[in-house]
């Protein structure tokens, strides 16, 4: 009996050793309320990650490169590329993060020198809605790419082989297109109940520069999304519990029974 028990433990240990470790994302994504300075808590719910935004508050998207190499991050806010203003696609322009770098993106890129602040606002006043693209309001997303490493082949492959590879890649892209269409329909349905979006706020100084970056792959290695809405709607969806204030009992002793400093007694 003891030998059988020890054998079972050995089997479990072997299985645990063989289990693949969960890959860490290239980029960590978080949302910071710039008016309070708080990182918005992330709440997993039915496969999505949610944060609660406060209408009228400015926010930033905090990006952290978790690797020792450069990565390219295409940032989408409400389905709009935060640099170009185009309907977002992973193939578009993005921000390049140096190894282990952390940065905060504060707004829509207006030039190489400034941005228009991200601000939580009514859905109808969001930048996406005002430009006729309300279906993806309420989601912040990133597509992250590794940088291609310089490779010197020992021989030059014939042109026809390269052509076949390119055609195969184009066929794969075409086959994947219908999935995007169905996703758009689902997002449009969700937008009907969305309460807030991201507005086009005041301009602020945010200089940047251009750099070269060759992507290692056609498809992003990481695609992450953070959904957001008002706290009250997150409560209605069951994402977060309803807030309850502290309960004070009149008959219970209190460690801090006083309020503000009282005036001293007057002299008689």
Q: Given this model, what pLDDT does residue 13 score? A: 40
Return d(Cα 114, Cα 206) in angstroms, integer: 4
What's the confidence (pLDDT) of residue 226?
97
CA distance 207 to 205: 6
pTM: 0.70
| pLDDT for 155 | 55
Q: In this predicted structure, what is the pLDDT of residue 259? A: 53
How many helices and strands in the chain, by DSSP H and E? 4, 13
Q: Which residue has the tokens 């008959």?
A: 251
In 34-79, DSSP assigns E strands to: 43-45, 48-52, 58-65, 71-77
Which segments of the chain have a pLDDT < 70?
1-22, 151-192, 244-264, 266-268
pLDDT of residue 59: 98
Domain boundaries, the chain: 23-149+195-236
Task: Render the chain in DSSP notation, one character per residue.
Answer: -HHHHHHHHHHHHHHHHHSPPPPPPSEEEEEEETTT-PBPPPEEETTEEEEE--TT-EEEEEEEE-SSS-EEEEEEETTEETTT-SBP-TTS--EEEPTT-EEEE-EEE-SSSEEEEEEEEEGGGSHHHHTT-GGGTTEEEEEEEEBPPP---SS---HHHHHHHHHHHHHHHHHHHHHHHHHHHHHHHHHTT--EEEEEEEEEE---------BS-SS-SEEEEEEEE-HHHHHHTTSSPPP-PPP--TTS--SS---SPPPPPPP-
Distance, CA of 145 to CA of 27 (rounded, Å): 10
pLDDT of residue 9: 39
* 107 three-state secondary structure: strand
């Amino acid at each position: 009996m003891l030998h059988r028990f020890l054998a079972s433990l050995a089997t479990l240990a072997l299985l645990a050793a063989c289990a693949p470790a969960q890959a860490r994302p290239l980029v960590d994504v978080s949302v910071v309320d710039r008016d309070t300075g708080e990182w918005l808590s992330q709440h997993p719910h039915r496969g999505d990650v949610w944060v609660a935004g406060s209408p009228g508050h400015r926010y930033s998207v905090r990006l952290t490169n978790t690797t020792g190499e450069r990565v390219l991050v295409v940032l989408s806010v409400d389905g709009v590329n935060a640099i170009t203003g185009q309907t977002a696609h992973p193939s578009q322009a993005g921000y390049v993060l140096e190894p282990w770098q952390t940065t905060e993106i504060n707004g829509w890129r207006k030039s190489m020198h400034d941005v228009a602040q991200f601000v939580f606002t009514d859905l109808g006043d969001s930048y996406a809605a005002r430009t006729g693209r309300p279906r993806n309001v309420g989601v912040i997303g990133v597509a992250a790419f590794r940088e291609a490493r310089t490779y010197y082949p020992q021989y030059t492959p014939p042109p026809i082989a390269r052509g076949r590879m390119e055609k195969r890649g184009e066929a794969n892209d075409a086959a994947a297109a219908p999935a995007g269409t169905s996703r758009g329909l689902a997002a449009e349905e969700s937008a009907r109940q969305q309460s807030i979006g991201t507005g086009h706020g005041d301009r602020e100084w945010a200089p940047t520069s251009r750099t070269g970056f060759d992507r290692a792959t056609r498809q992003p290695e990481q695609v992450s999304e953070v959904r957001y809405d008002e706290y009250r709607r997150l409560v209605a969806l069951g994402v977060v519990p309803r807030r309850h204030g502290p309960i004070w009992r009149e008959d219970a002793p209190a460690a801090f029974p006083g309020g503000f400093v009282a005036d001293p007694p007057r002299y008689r």
